Amino acid sequence: MNIHKNARLTPRGRERIVRQVESGQTPEAVAKAAGVCLRTIRKWIDRYRREGLAGLHDRSSRPHRLRRPTPAAIVETIERLRRQRWTGKQIAAEAGVSPATVSRILRRLGLNKLSALEPEPVRRYEREHPGELIHLDIKKLGRIGSVGHRITGRQTGMVNRHIGIGWEFVHVCIDDASRVAFVQVMPDQRKESAVAFLEAAVAYYASLGVKVQRVMTDNGPCYRSKTTTAQCGVPLDLGIHADRQSRKTRANGRYQLAHGDDFRFRADGHARAGFNNLAGVSPLDHRRCHCR
């Protein structure tokens, strides 16, 4: 039994006030002497008369009557649907219980958050042979007029901007199986540039003895152009089938992962070697394609 530090009556003290009332003292006088209210005195006297000394001990505050527990079959259904990543309202409608009941059961099972569920299995689509699938994407980079404060140490407030210097568009192609990359800096990201880059990429892989079979893009405007696909028929003339995916990491993740460090190199490290050769192949491209 846990008695808090400010308790006026312990089981022994309750027994003492009961004995005082039975000896002829009035409940009012006993309450005043014990420093408690009359209602407390009468409560312990009634419990002593019904239950004896056992009634003077603290009891659980649990109700005498509890609601009927949810059947085990419904609990199993709720858990099964939750593991299929159903929401609480969907589960409640399917199981025929209230959303509050579903929430209580999920909290008891430790499944009240979707993050507690097992992650979905990884679905990989990596190709086994070079040329089966290449990824195309474009990175828009602002031209660098001069080195910045990280190299020159110029203080805040000094002229560090070059207004109207323009942009350059890095067209990137990466083979899904071998990760061999081909990069060109084009003047824009229009359909003509996309077609020219695709022809150059196919010729580059052909020089390595690889025949391109399929192309995956992020469904950008230049890749959806009729000039790129049907009207001029460049992929058809080259014997290539185009796969168009929405803008998701799984669609252009090869490009995003492979060239994050490359673009950081071009933006910072390349400044030390000069800014007139930005369109060239960086040492990172050579290392990625030939030295891994």
**What pLDDT is stored for residue 248 in this prediction?**
54
Do 173 and 42 share a domain, yes or no? Answer: no
Mean pLDDT of 230-242: 51
Classify 153 as helix, strand or coil: coil
- For the record, the structure tokens of 280 come out as 């060239």
pLDDT band at 230 (very low <50, low <70, confident <90, very high): very low
Output 191-197 pairs: Cβ under 8 A, ≥24 positions apart: 191/222, 191/225, 191/227, 191/228, 192/227, 193/169, 193/222, 194/136, 194/138, 194/222, 194/223, 194/225, 194/228, 195/227, 195/228, 195/232, 195/234, 197/136, 197/171, 197/173
Do 145 and 285 share a domain, yes or no? Answer: yes
Per-residue b or e along 7-39, where b marks 16 or more CB atoms closer than 10 Å to that residue's CB: eebeeeebeebbebbeeeeebeebbeebebeee
pLDDT band at 269 (very low <50, low <70, confident <90, very high): very low
Do 52 and 27 share a domain, yes or no? Answer: yes
**What pLDDT is stored for residue 284 in this prediction?**
46
> Which is nearest to 195 in space by CA: 141, 203, 132?
203
Distance in angstroms (rounded) separating the CA atoms of residues 94 and 105: 15
pLDDT digits (tens, 9 = 90+) for 195-226: 899 999 999 999 999 999 888 888 778 877 66
Residue 195 lies in a domain: yes
**What pLDDT is stored for residue 252 in this prediction?**
55
pLDDT band at 161 (very low <50, low <70, confident <90, very high): low
Distance in angstroms (rounded) separating the CA atoms of residues 28 and 21: 10
Do 158 and 280 share a domain, yes or no? Answer: yes
Alpha carbon 149 to its chain centroid, in Å, reads 35
Q: Considering just the CA atoms, what is the radius of gyration of the chain in Å?
A: 38
**What pLDDT is stored for residue 159 in this prediction?**
59
> Is it the case that residue 109 has pLDDT exceeding 90?
yes
Residue 62 lies in a domain: no
> Which is nearest to 54 in space by CA: 64, 44, 65, 41?
44
- Measured at the alpha carbon of residue 26, what is the angle toward residues 23 and 32, in degrees to the nearest 5? 115
Q: What is the mean pLDDT of the chain?
A: 78
* Of 38-52, 152-166, 244-258, minimum mean pLDDT range: 244-258
Q: Return the top range by mean pLDDT from 9-18, 95-104, 212-221, 226-235.
A: 95-104
Which of the two residues, 282 and 97, has the higher pLDDT score? 97
Q: What is the pTM of this model?
A: 0.48
CATH of the domain at 257: 3.30.420.10
Distance in angstroms (rounded) separating the CA atoms of residues 210 and 171: 20
Do 158 and 200 share a domain, yes or no? Answer: yes
Quote the number of domains for the chain: 3
Residue 216 lies in a domain: yes
Do 148 and 273 share a domain, yes or no? Answer: yes
Do 203 and 280 share a domain, yes or no? Answer: yes
Per the structure, the complete domain to which residue 108 belongs is given by 72-116
Element spanning 194, H or E: helix 191-207
Do 89 and 199 share a domain, yes or no? Answer: no
Q: Return the top range by mean pLDDT from 101-115, 218-232, 246-260.
A: 101-115
Distances (CA, A) of 107 to 102, 112, 117: 8, 5, 13
> Which is nearest to 179 in space by CA: 130, 242, 139, 239?
130
Do 99 and 199 share a domain, yes or no? Answer: no
**What pLDDT is stored for residue 88 in this prediction?**
93
Helices and strands, number each (H, E), in the chain: 12, 5
- For the record, the structure tokens of 58 come out as 């603290």
> Is it the case that residue 133 has pLDDT exceeding 50?
yes
Mean pLDDT of 22-50: 91
**What pLDDT is stored for residue 102 in this prediction?**
95
Other beta carbons within 10 Å of 55: 16
> Is it the case that residue 288 has pLDDT exceeding 90?
no
Do 248 and 207 share a domain, yes or no? Answer: yes
pLDDT band at 62 (very low <50, low <70, confident <90, very high): confident
Do 187 and 217 share a domain, yes or no? Answer: yes
